[in-house]
Amino acid sequence: VPQHVWRINLDTPEEAHQNLSFGAADRWWEQTDLTKLILASNKLQCLSEDIKLLPALTVLDVHDNQLTSLPSALGQLENLQKLDVSHNKLKSIPEELLQLSHLKSLLLHHNELSHLPDGFGQLVNLEELDVSNNHLTDIPTSFALLINLVRLNLACNQLKDLPADISVMRSLRQLDCTKNYLETVPSKLATMASLEQLYLRKNKLRSLPEFPSCKLLKELHAGENQIEILNAENLKHLNSLSVLELRDNKIKSVPDEITLLQKLERLDLTNNDISRLPYTLGNLPQLKFLALEGNPLRTIRRDLLQKGTQELLKYLRSKIQDDATNPGGEPPVTAMTLPSESRINMHAITTLKLLEYSDKQAAVIPEEMFDAVRGHPVATVNFSKNQLSEIPPRVVELKDSVCDVNLGFNKISSVSWELCLLRKLTHLDLRNNFLTSLPEEMEALTGLQVINLSFNRFKVFPGVLYRILALETILLGNNQVGSIDPLQLKGMDRLGTLDLQNNDLLQVPPELGNCESLRTLLLEGNPFRTPRAAVLARGTAALLEYLRSRIPA
């Protein structure tokens, strides 16, 4: 920074020495002290302690530079109200910063901060604080003193929990905790009466908190977690909610109490495990957007989902009457139904070529399920959401016809040889089991195109997959895979999608950039340092290009 910038309040302007007739604009002796200084988007590596010569500053903006530290003299700018030091390389904040008692906006996002000073709560007039995209693992308890804070952004850090004291921030309207490692949310958070927007996406939450006092909450974003249950208690107080985003979780059912959310405008339940919906959803008066793709819905045809929200709501309303006459939605058992066949849907077997016994929490598949097939060519098997500890050996009886097998959400710890004989298999879903490896015999599944192994216990990439050359999609997210072999992956020239999110990859081999068939490569949530999050965010093509540029010549 040129020295005369720091001395602008002190030095007599150049023109004062030359100009002898002063117009109104030139009366330098009436100039006020500098109040705003913007040095953004330069290449500054440090700021001079001379900054203290500008005590009237109310705004200092040095974002997008290369600062590794801040001068302690900052603490003398007692009139400062807005400080933007985002997009730098700061590893710490000087304690003197905490003396800025008039500071209202402090932007620290996209730095390399691993901790914040304990006395942070001294900044009592702060209304906006952004510390997103740093390396923070905890929050100082003194945060509770920031009672005037309106917006708090903690996204993209390494927080495992939030201090319960955060709940006394009585002015807080927007709280963003996206992309951390939160497994729970303090129950006291539910007492924050001013909260309007809450972002909890991309964490490790298994349930939502209850919100008894959040009467003003308008937006709740909790997608990409591991939420399994949506309770009436989670919803019934949220009278003002207009956006509820719960995509990419493991929610199995939607409670009827969702109809209490009379102001709901957007409901996103994409990619969950919902098999049926309360038809009363159709009565929500403000609902403009309802997303349900990627759920095993039995009662709603796929083509209906593609017709848009209004058609879907109209259909749900039409079913409310049907539901009243046959509440269970299951065909009634008549005197003509044989006891042994009452749980077997012969129509599904003969017409839909589907053998289904899912969501029954069963430890074994009843023998009569296989007996009922009796030579009918079954194409699809769905035994998901049970308590199976092994793959039912009798699946081998379906080897001449079955091409889609779903054994997700069980307790299977190994893949049996019987499964390896299903030569026509194209789709195999084994997500949410206890698998640590795959047998070499799986190489015989030469037609396998899609395999879902997410949420298992793999520590290494299953080597046999490299040899199944028909594979187009490999989903291995949420395991503990530590490395991949880019040379073997390059040989898989049909592989278009590779999901390795939330694993233990410490490095990404640059040669992965040579896998040019990849259209989707997902690597978020791994502990590697490079590529940085900004590169990942640009999409697969840019990521592959970046990796290729790093290959040693």
Nearest to 501 by CA among 479, 485, 482: 479
Residue-wise pLDDT for 461-508, tens only, equals 999 999 999 999 999 999 999 999 999 999 999 999 999 999 999 999
Nearest to 388 by CA among 359, 418, 417: 359
Residue-wise pLDDT for 428-472, tens only, equals 999 999 999 999 999 999 999 999 999 999 999 999 999 999 999
For residues 204 and 234, give the distance between their C-alpha atoms in angstroms, rounded to a whole number: 17
Nearest to 406 by CA among 423, 390, 384, 433: 384
- Identity of the amino acid at 425: L
Q: How far is CA 452 from CA 244, 473, 500, in A?
A: 27, 8, 11
- State the pairing for strand pair 450-452/151-153: unpaired
Containing 548, the helix (H) or strand (E) segment is helix 540-549
- State the pairing for strand pair 36-38/59-61: parallel
Q: Where are the domains of the chain?
A: 1-12+31-181, 223-320, 346-549
Residue-wise pLDDT for 79-137, tens only, equals 999 999 999 999 999 999 999 999 999 999 999 999 999 999 999 999 999 999 999 99
For residues 115 and 151, give the distance between their C-alpha atoms in angstroms, rounded to a whole number: 20
Computed over every residue of the chain, the mean pLDDT equals: 88
Nearest to 277 by CA among 295, 250, 302: 295
Q: Residue 486 in contact with residue 462, Cβ under 8 Å?
A: no
The listed CATH number (3.80.10.10, 3.20.20.140, 3.40.50.620, 3.30.70.20) that belongs to domain 346-549: 3.80.10.10
- Radius of gyration (C-alpha) of the chain in whole angstroms: 30
Structure confidence at residue 235 (pLDDT): 81
CATH architecture of the domain 223-320 equals Alpha-Beta Horseshoe (3.80)
Task: Report phi then psi at 485, rounded to 5.
Answer: -105, 100
Residue-wise pLDDT for 518-544, tens only, equals 999 999 999 898 898 888 888 899 999
Judge: domain 1-12+31-181, CATH 3.80.10.10. yes
Same fold, 223-320 and 346-549: yes
What's the pTM value of the predicted model, to 2 decimals? Answer: 0.59
Structure confidence at residue 159 (pLDDT): 95
Q: Residue 225 in contact with residue 200, Cβ under 8 Å?
A: yes
Burial (Cβ within 10 Å: 0-12, 13-18, ≥19) of residue 26: middle
Structure tokens at 9: 């309040």
For residue 265, give the DSSP letter: -
